[in-house]
A = this chain, B = another copy of it.
Amino acid sequence: MNNKIIRLGHGAGGILTNQLIKTIVLKYFTNTTLRRLEDSAELNVKKNNIAFTTDSYVIDPIFFPGSDIGSLAIYGTVNDLAMKGAIPKFISLSLIIEEGFSIEKLKKILKSASQAAHRAGVSVVCGDTKVVERGKADKIFITTSGIGIIKLHLGKEKIQIGDHIIVSGTIGDHGIAVMNERLQLGLKSTIRSDAAPLNVITTKLFHHTSAIHFMRDPTRGGIASVLNEIVDGTTKGIMIYERDLPIRREVRGACEILGLDPLYVANEGKFVALVDRKSASTLLKKIRNQPLGRNAKIIGEVISEPKGVWLKTKIGGTHPLLQLEAEGLPRIC
């Protein structure tokens, strides 16, 4: 194994990505905000705490059922802010375009991003455009950054043993929709990306100040990877119940054909929330009252032992949900 070059897995959101960030990136940039390795930075601007986040989108293909790179770039960044307990407000949008890219497609992407921003209630307030020679980039890459006003202070340190884990809807839709399009699998299905603005739901939960302990959106690497990141560095474990996982029949079928575990497949419009067990059913009801959250379920809980992330299967067995070295789906966002 050549450790001197970048591999696709370094960008896949698994162990390799984690290693790259911890052993290389954090070596050069050390501040307490960045070291938390959360998706958004919490910044104190005098009296108002703001959340600040960034993501680059290199998804292939750029158009896919249910969304495209434009709206994805807005929702992805909006969702990172929402997960931080913030109201997303301002977005920056920077384009790297390959020479020869179709202006018509650019318009389509920008229109889609614009509609997404409108739906999420954010303003795109600054941007940049760079063009590189033909063959030096793949069609278009978009980097968005976002600023939000923090309303709810969340953190791993708030997670308690016994907390219930809510997922806001069906899992794996985005990854399977993109794979179906990319590989031209021709799966006869209605599977569409779930790309959507999560702040539409989370903003309704903000008055439950102490009941919500932590939130994350399971994008690259899916639910299993995100849950692993959540327990990483804590002394707690997580148990997930297979029978409670909301998975569309078509997604389950596609995963079987492709040999994928839906727990590791990317989502772009779902979140997991770790909440106080006493408030869990109230919160679940509020989430299900929103169209985007109507399939929400309680899927598991925080446990003291064993450490790590575990799946209780339908037939009663228990097996570990390990963090993958590099997930099998590059360029999924």
Query: Are A34 and B127 in touch, CB under 8 angstroms?
Result: yes
Query: Are B25 and A125 in touch, CB under 8 angstroms?
Result: no
User: Taking CB as reference atom, which chain B residue is nearest A80?
Assistant: B126
A7 close to B (CB within 8 Å): yes
A103 close to B (CB within 8 Å): yes
Residues of B contacting A126 with CB < 8 Å?
A: 33-34, 39-41, 52-54
Partner of A54, one of B43, B92, B138, B330: B92
CA distance A75 to B117 in the complex (A): 29
* Closest Cβ–Cβ distance, residue A5 to chain B (whole Å): 5
Q: Chain A 5-24 against B: per-residue CB contact (8 Å), 1 yes, 0 no?
A: 11111111000010011001
A204 close to B (CB within 8 Å): no
Residues of B contacting A129 with CB < 8 Å?
A: 10-11, 17, 20-21, 25
Query: Are A330 and B28 in touch, CB under 8 angstroms?
Result: no
Query: Are A103 and B33 in touch, CB under 8 angstroms?
Result: no
Residues of B contacting A111 with CB < 8 Å?
A: 28
Residues of B contacting A127 with CB < 8 Å?
A: 21, 25, 29, 34, 54
Query: Are A330 and B133 in touch, CB under 8 angstroms?
Result: yes
Q: How many A residues touch B, CB cutoff 8 Å?
A: 82
CA distance A149 to B43 in the complex (A): 12
A161 close to B (CB within 8 Å): no
A96 close to B (CB within 8 Å): yes
A106 close to B (CB within 8 Å): yes
User: Taking CB as reference atom, which chain B residue is nearest A140?
Assistant: B6
Q: Which of A76-128 contact B (CB under 8 A)?
A: 89-90, 92-104, 106-107, 110-111, 113-114, 117, 123-128
CA distance A48 to B130 in the complex (A): 31
A315 close to B (CB within 8 Å): no
User: Assuming A129-B10, A133-B330, A137-B136, is B124 touching A94 (CB within 8 A)?
Assistant: no
CA distance A127 to B132 in the complex (A): 23
Closest 8 CB pairs of A and B: A11-B131, A145-B145, A54-B92, A28-B114, A41-B125, A143-B143, A136-B138, A41-B126
